[in-house]
Amino acid sequence: MQHGEAETIGRELIRALRGRLTRAAFSKRLGYRSNVVHRWETGEVWPPVPTLLSGLARMGRIDRHLFAHFLGRPGAGRGFTPPQVARFLRELQGKTPITTLAAQTGYNRFQIARWLRGQTRPRLPEFLCLVEATSRRLLDLLALIIDPARVPSVAPRWEQLQAAREAAYQAPWSHAVLRALELGAPAGSLSDAELGTAVGLDVGTARDGLEWLVRSGQVRREAGRYRPQKVQVVDTRADPDRSRDLKAYWGQLAIERLQSGRSEGDFGYSLFAIHRDDLERLRTLHLEYVRAMQSVIAHSTKPDCVGLYCAQLLDLRDVAKP
């Protein structure tokens, strides 16, 4: 996402947040004496994100634990001070090089470095660009602030994302088929049988998956073939219960492949005694690994197989039976 698109989203977001209030009234509610919201909605100036989010929290429009909810870590803190916003962005950045973020957003790498260090406060479009570049989940963050359907420029993408999530929940194999569609040259050139073979499915199940993908707008049927469409990252954590079921599904599949001896993947385990603080360090390392893995996946060219990654790291005391 470049800053031009982010500015459009920013204007629409402010307008949606204002609702039926006048610009002057909304400015006052946020703690301003001037009618600054008018200048925001016209794109003349932009609010610093710590100031905007703090004002919305005081109004009761957003939860002070917004960042923790987005990160999926209840203990990640609350509030929107400049250091907290910078820390949140660094969490999202992980191991992504600043030069990569600069290329994806169009912002100068020195600007980005100052935002990440908390030396300067990112303004709304800059913040939106960085969230999308670092996490690919801007729509999910917006959903914690306001219904994305009320933001015209992202409403169609939000609808498609919701449909894609439903496909993942209802038919987990559909997303394996979607990944298989990226194989071959050109993409989508494999037959139904070849798609099924690529992920260990029979033809009928592969076709069912394709139908789910068509209904959710992730695939288009074209001249007897299925062509994958450009779809944003589908993060299934929005519904914790269904997300847990989905993780269990893929974990069980990995177990079945291990037990059958059909897979040459890496399977292993390690039991160890460790301090809880160090277990948290391992979780942080694991998160860094996952982000590095996602970067490798994103930059991989000419894919010729579909991979499945499953992992578990937990304190056995949390699940041990009395």
Digits of tens for pLDDT over the chain (322 positions)? 788 899 999 999 999 999 999 999 999 999 999 999 999 999 999 999 999 999 999 999 999 999 998 988 776 678 999 999 999 999 898 878 899 999 999 999 999 999 999 999 999 999 999 999 998 899 999 999 999 999 999 999 999 899 999 999 999 999 899 888 888 767 667 788 888 888 888 889 988 999 999 988 888 888 778 888 876 678 888 788 999 999 999 999 889 888 887 667 788 888 899 999 999 899 888 888 888 888 788 778 888 899 999 988 888 886 555 4
Closest CA to 17 of 155, 159, 147: 147
Q: Are residues 145 and 73 in the same domain?
A: yes
Residue 226 pLDDT = 85
CA dist 107 and 90 (Å) reads 16
Q: Are residues 74 and 175 in the same domain?
A: no
Please, what is the end-to-end C-alpha distance for the chain in angstroms? 51
Q: What is the DSSP letter of 317?
A: G
Q: Are residues 133 and 169 in the same domain?
A: no
Q: Are residues 265 and 119 in the same domain?
A: no
DSSP one-letter string for 96-137: --HHHHHHHH---HHHHHHHHHTSSPPBHHHHHHHHHHHHS-
Domain final residue, candidates 150, 183, 199: 150
Domain final residue, candidates 120, 150, 180: 150
CA dist 110 and 117 (Å) reads 11
Q: Are residues 200 and 217 in the same domain?
A: yes
Residue 75 pLDDT = 66
Domain final residue, candidates 87, 115, 150: 150
Residue 123's φ and ψ, nearest 5 degrees, are -90, 170
Q: Are residues 194 and 109 in the same domain?
A: no
β-bridge mates for residue 221, sequence order: 226
Q: Are residues 130 and 235 in the same domain?
A: no
Contact between 126 and 201 (Cβ < 8 Å): no
Token pair 């559909």 is found at 174
* Residue 79 falls in which region: left (phi positive, over 0), alpha (psi -120 to 50) or beta: left
Q: Are residues 39 and 97 in the same domain?
A: yes
How many independent structural domains does the chain possess?
2
Q: Are residues 162 and 300 in the same domain?
A: yes
Q: Are residues 127 and 175 in the same domain?
A: no
Q: Are residues 138 and 159 in the same domain?
A: no
User: Which domain, by its residues, includes 166?
Assistant: 154-322
CA dist 253 and 196 (Å) reads 15
Q: Are residues 179 and 319 in the same domain?
A: yes
